[in-house]
Amino acid sequence: MNQQIEDRKQESQRFQMRVLVHFGGLLPLVLLIGSYVRDELGFNPVEAALQKTGQIAAVFLVLSLAITPLRKLLKLPLLRYLRKPLGLYAAFYAALHFLTFAWWDYGLDFGLIWAEIVAKPFIIIGALALLILAVLAATSFRSVQRKMGKKWVQLHRLTYLAAILVIAHFLLAVKGNLLTLQGNYTFPLVLGGVLVVLLLMRLPGIRKNN
């Protein structure tokens, strides 16, 4: 009887967490659409949408990587149910970021898109990150996990590579001088700092102590 009560309690907590993460995942999109409808994205709505979708994707990606350390640190095993949806929302907003660039900005004109890629190679870095996230999202289903076995775990470690590529993409996309920090580098540098901490926490010695 006590076990049934505990199981129901955990199921209720999982449901609440799923509702919370989906609310948090869809809220930025609703706010972005609302800003566009109210004409609040400024004189260049495409550029504003590009920046916002890219930033949202990066935040969700880093949050997904922070779940495991937080789960261990706070001793909250239920947090593990947040990692997958956060990663999927990161992939979703990364796809919106790319569609804003390729479809809204360039009308799927591949000639113009290629010319832009040649002029701004950091786009390739972002495209590689998107490709990794797309593969990870496509292989996140339980049926695929069972078929892949240990290979699935190895594949999903590429999430860290995707995060590194995303931070590099943003640092190079900022208009300014990274060496002198002349430009709006606060966002990518803060996220990059968080990512460095998360990577350090995966080192064997630190990981064992946690």
Q: How far is it, in rounded angstroms, from Cα 138 to Cα 7? A: 30
Could you state, in order of their start, the residue ranges of all structural domains in the chain?
2-209
What pLDDT score does 146 carry? 84
What pLDDT score does 5 carry? 62
Q: Are 97 and 50 in contact (CB under 8 A)?
A: yes
Q: Are 81 and 133 in contact (CB under 8 A)?
A: no
What pLDDT score does 68 carry? 86
Tokens 């892949």 correspond to what residue?
Answer: 148
What pLDDT score does 7 carry? 60
What pLDDT score does 2 carry? 60
- Residue 182 backbone phi and psi in degrees, to 5: -90, 100
- Residue 170 tokens, joined: 């943003």
Q: Are 83 and 67 in contact (CB under 8 A)?
A: yes
What pLDDT score does 206 carry? 56
What pLDDT score does 174 carry? 85
Please tell me the pTM assigned to this model: 0.89
What does pLDDT average to in each consecutive run of 10 residues of the chain (210 residues)?
63 80 93 92 90 95 91 80 91 96 90 88 93 92 82 86 94 81 85 91 61
What pLDDT score does 18 carry? 83
What pLDDT score does 152 carry? 81
Q: How far is it, in rounded angstroms, from Cα 187 to Cα 95? A: 20
What pLDDT score does 69 carry? 85
- Residue 138 backbone phi and psi in degrees, to 5: -70, -25
